Amino acid sequence: MFKIAKFITADLLKNKVMLLYLIFLWAVCFGLFSLQGQGDKALTGILNVSLLVTPMICLIFATIYFYNMYEFMMLMHAQPIKRKTLFMALYLSLAIVFTCIYLLGAGIPLLIMNAGAASIFMIIGTTFLNFIFVALALGVAVWTKDKSKGMGFSLLIWVYFVLLFDGIILLLMYNFSDYPIEKLVLYISFLNPVDLMRILVLMQTEAAALMGYSGAIFQKVFTENWGISIIFLVMVLWSIIPLGFSLRAYNKKDL
């Protein structure tokens, strides 16, 4: 598996998209710190960019890459190699390369410009998002052989987690504003890893004071050690469950 992963990793690092992604992250991080001046404002801006771009680039690029590597994978399956081994090599290569690119492009600038708990949590949270959305992208690519359909479903997943989910939460809070549903919203947020990362990072900054009563509940839970541990546990589950379904679908797929 490691030889295959090494080959795929080398191929990914030669891809110009990775270089452009790295340059984009560098430009965003140093640009925001230069313009904003204050650590928390720049950190919030980088967080918003990360939450929008990281899931999208993972979903789109991983889906396209799987389709482009399909013939290579068929050739490898002609050898005495288990499906699980090949699939895990592809998954780990994609997730690790995305994580390394983010660490170089945003992680190191964050630690240099604004070292603290919020920056560390952002780096760890983005690492989880890389593994989660690469698994989701590979699951979509395995599910359908049609490239256009696969790209469409990947974009729908991105729209749901990044845009639509927050709209549903706002609609729920608006329609049931007369009821104490803050704790319910807290539990519903576990269904979206993007929201979990946003809450976890914001609770380490002064922006938490702008979130009102619900923000106070979030801050009370998520700044405690056990609350942070629960978030990380949920993120681990989000990393494992989609990967398990994707791997199972690939093992059963008629190649």
60-93 per-position pLDDT tens digit: 999 999 998 888 888 887 777 788 888 899 999 9
Q: Give the whole-angstrom CA distance, residue 56 versus residue 232.
A: 22
In sign, the C-alpha dihedral spanning 114, 116, 118, 120 is positive
- Model confidence at 210: pLDDT above 80: no
> Is residue 212 very low, low, confident or very high in pLDDT (cuts 50, 70, 90)?
very low
- Model confidence at 116: pLDDT above 70: yes
- Report the number of distinct structural domains present in the chain: 1
What is the residue range of 116's domain? 2-252
∠ CA 135-188-196, nearest 5°, is 55
| In contact, 119 and 201? CB cutoff 8 Å | no
Neighbours of 185 (CB within 10 A): 17
Q: What are the tokens at 123?
A: 């780096």
Task: Give the pLDDT score at 217.
Answer: 61
* In the block, residue with structure tokens 């546990």: 233
Q: Give the whole-angstrom CA distance, residue 246 versus residue 226.
A: 30
